[in-house]
Amino acid sequence: MSEVTIKRALLSVSDKSGLVDLGKALAARGVELLSTGGTAKALRDAGLTVKDVSEHTGFPEMMDGRVKTLHPTIHGGLLAVRDNPEHAAAMAEHQIGAIDLVVVNLYPFEATVAKGAERDEVIENIDIGGPSMVRSAAKNHDYVTILTDAADYATFLGELEQTGGATTLAFRRKMAAKAYAATAAYDSAISQWFATVDQGEHFPPVLATAHTRVTTLRYGENPHQDAALYVPRNPAVTGLPQATQVQGKELSYNNYNDANAALELVAEFAGAKPTVVIVKHANPCGVATAETLLDAWKDALECDSVSAFGGIVATNVPLDGPTANAICEIFTEVVVAPGADDAAKEAFARKKNLRLLLIDSLPDANRKGLTTVPIAGGLLVQDRDAGKIEKADLKVVTKRAPTEQELEDALFAWTVAKHVKSNAIVYAKDGVTAGIGAGQMNRRDSSRIAAAKAKEAAETHGFAEARTVGSAVASDAFFPFADGLMAAVEAGATCVIQPGGSIRDEDVIKAADEAGLAMVFTGMRHFRH
């Protein structure tokens, strides 16, 4: 059966957006309206004739409304295969009328949890009758139309207009697929609440999650890969998907990935002095904190101006005109910031392809959560790396203790190293990255690459010496041998911050003492694969 004329509709919605207009349009076509509770009241208040479900079933609502639509007259009217003689006979024998349209959205379970409701209220907002009707109607989509999203009302009414009061099979199939996605997402939210909140399970036996597609992207990491952007239902954290894109081309998969890396790092400096992060291929290539945003930009750029070309920029404070003009002097893909003044927007407007993303606030760098990585045959799940080290957590292991400035630089370098692909080495001096070595197969090579970048920067920008001289160097994991440490000594570093924990710690400490270095252990590592 292709087209099904809508003669009887059952409406029972929690979100009443667009309900009255939909009801009026149906009534104008002579459709009988069945409804319950607040939905029926809203339709009647609009002057529409509505038949109560209890009148239709001949059975009253009971148990505070928990039982009202769970009845053979309702589900028989939804599930009957209408061209099946046995089904038709059962409908006639039991006086079950066909229901052609179901309009249902579910109790606001997620919103109830989000507002911090008590357990009893949360339980009462687990919808039973709604999902049952949705699933019945969706299963029998050959004959029944199911609407679970008010955003689809206009399309549905367009169907009726084109067909003279009916829906097509293609439309019903599409709505059925959407309906099952809605109930699956609803059940996943309930199961996660029971597991993590009610039962306190960190990693439940079944990890049921639901995400909503925001948009499809032009392609993935490479043109032969398809891609899309999804967000969790009712996301607790704001980020790039919630940002306002002021200008520029559509963001690509790589833009999102790299811009998120920049945003996550700059969030570490929320509330600090103006800070600029420059990222390329998800790795920071320059980070600086200064008295002004413009100075921070200049210092960050000078760390590795070659890699910064075509990169991503993020700031921890709103953008101003002078900084925006300076950023526009090089090719930049994306700029992310918690606001921008008119002068900044005007400057960026001259670079029409540059994407400017403005967010309401920086995400919490120390928030809890889970991260996932798909592998062949499975999914790896772990806690988000929210580890943070303060001065009081540091253990001095060398004969020489670091100066206050060295400690500041060490913690700055450590914060940046947390966001650099392992093996990660970061040199920093006076709140500016001097050199960054990322993603090498051994720590010594990362040390040498970072030092080489610092030397190149000095030659490019006319520094008297590389900024690694007198710097602090951070290693995301312990130095397994003294060779990586000696590469830092050769670069001119005077302080080292590292997790410690190697069986050769004593050899590394001895080498540091012989070189006159100060070294502190964090007791925490930050692998980032």
Query: Which CATH number covers residue 422?
Result: 3.40.140.20
Provide Rg for the chain, Cα atoms: 30
pTM beyond 0.75: the answer is: yes
Residue 16 shares a structural domain with residue 150: yes
Q: Please tell me which residue in 16, 87, 139, 388 is annotated as part of the active site.
A: 139
Residue 271 shares a structural domain with residue 415: no
Q: Please tell me which residue in 281, 345, 351, 388 is annotated as part of the active site.
A: 281
Under the banding of pLDDT at 50, 70 and 90, the label for residue 431 is very high
The percent of residues in the chain predicted with pLDDT above 90, rounded, is 77
Q: Which among 310, 333, 358 is the end of a domain?
A: 358
pLDDT of residue 1 exceeding 60? no
Under the banding of pLDDT at 50, 70 and 90, the label for residue 86 is confident
Residue 74: inside a domain: yes
Q: What is the mean pLDDT of the chain?
A: 92
Determine the average pLDDT of the residues in 62-77.
72
Determine the average pLDDT of the residues in 118-129.
90
Q: Find the range with the poorest average confidence among 66-75, 155-164, 382-391.
A: 66-75
Query: Whole-angstrom Cα distance, residue 232 to residue 372?
Result: 13
Query: Whole-angstrom Cα distance, residue 32 to residue 49?
Result: 8
Q: Which DSSP state fits 192?
A: H
pLDDT of residue 55 exceeding 70? no
Residues in Cβ contact with 41 at an 8 Å cutoff, skipping those fewer than 6 apart: none
- The total number of structural domains in the chain stands at 3
Q: Is the dihedral of CA 265, 271, 272, 276 positive or negative?
A: positive
The residue range of the domain holding 301 is 238-358
Has 139 been annotated as catalytic?
yes
Would you state the pLDDT for residue 65?
64
Query: Whole-angstrom Cα distance, residue 4 to residue 176?
Result: 15
Residue 218: inside a domain: no
Query: Whole-angstrom Cα distance, residue 444 to residue 482?
Result: 9
Residue 263 shares a structural domain with residue 133: no
Residues in Cβ contact with 83 at an 8 Å cutoff, skipping those fewer than 6 apart: 1
Residues in Cβ contact with 339 at an 8 Å cutoff, skipping those fewer than 6 apart: 317, 318, 319, 358
Under the banding of pLDDT at 50, 70 and 90, the label for residue 456 is very high
Residue 320 shares a structural domain with residue 439: no
- Phi, psi (5° rounding) for residue 229? -110, 125
Residue 90 shares a structural domain with residue 184: yes
Residue 175 shares a structural domain with residue 82: yes
Query: Whole-angstrom Cα distance, residue 304 to residue 453?
Result: 7
Has 429 been annotated as catalytic?
no
Residue 233: inside a domain: no
Residue 75 shares a structural domain with residue 189: yes
Query: For residue 378, how far is the Cα from the chain centroid?
Result: 21
Count CA atoms closer than 13 A to 83's CA, side-chain side. Answer: 5
DSSP string, 229-287: EEEESS-SS--GGGSEEEESSPPPHHHHHHHHHHHHHHGGGTTSS-EEEEEETTEEEEE
DSSP string, 198-228: IS--SS-SS----EEEEEEES-SSSTTS-EE
pLDDT of residue 422 exceeding 60? yes
Residues in Cβ contact with 390 at an 8 Å cutoff, skipping those fewer than 6 apart: none
The CATH number of the domain holding residue 64 is 3.40.50.1380
Q: How many CB atoms lie within 10 A of CB 164?
A: 9
Q: Which among 197, 229, 255 is the end of a domain?
A: 197
Residue 257: inside a domain: yes
Query: Whole-angstrom Cα distance, residue 525 to residue 129?
Result: 50
Residue 400 shares a structural domain with residue 277: no
Residue 192 shares a structural domain with residue 119: yes
Query: Whole-angstrom Cα distance, residue 443 to residue 477?
Result: 9
Cα separations (Å) of 182 from 81, 172, 290, 506? 24, 15, 48, 58
Under the banding of pLDDT at 50, 70 and 90, the label for residue 485 is confident
